[in-house]
Amino acid sequence: MHEGYFRLIDSEVTALKDLYDATEGEDWEVNVNWLDGDPCENKWFGVNYYSIGACDKDNLHVEELVLPWNGLKGALNKPLKQKHVAKCLC
């Protein structure tokens, strides 16, 4: 990891990967950079994040997912629905 890069917490990276798998991410209209390294560092399409502290680069959280009309299919499993990541599928 290069100095200055931002990093999403591991549990939220796992939740995003679960979302990708559960909704047939390989068939989305746009899935730029998904599953490639860290979502913040590699700018996964549609993932917006925030930091609790202004300088807290290692503990970022998903703020929202913006994936409208992107061809998501399937259903979220119950554990994934309860995670922070599933709060906004705009």
pLDDT at position 46:
93
- Where in the chain are the domains? 10-87
pLDDT at position 83:
57
Cα three-residue angle 54-6-75, rounded to 5 degrees: 110
Radius of gyration of the chain (CA): 13
How confident is the prediction along the chain (90 residues), in pLDDT tens digits per residue?
Answer: 444 567 888 888 888 998 999 899 999 999 999 999 989 889 999 998 887 765 556 678 888 888 888 999 987 766 655 555 545 554
The three-state secondary structure class of 44 is coil
pTM, rounded to two decimals: 0.77
pLDDT at position 90:
46
Phi, psi of 16 (to 5 degrees): -65, -40
Distance from first CA to last CA of the chain, Å, rounded?
Answer: 31
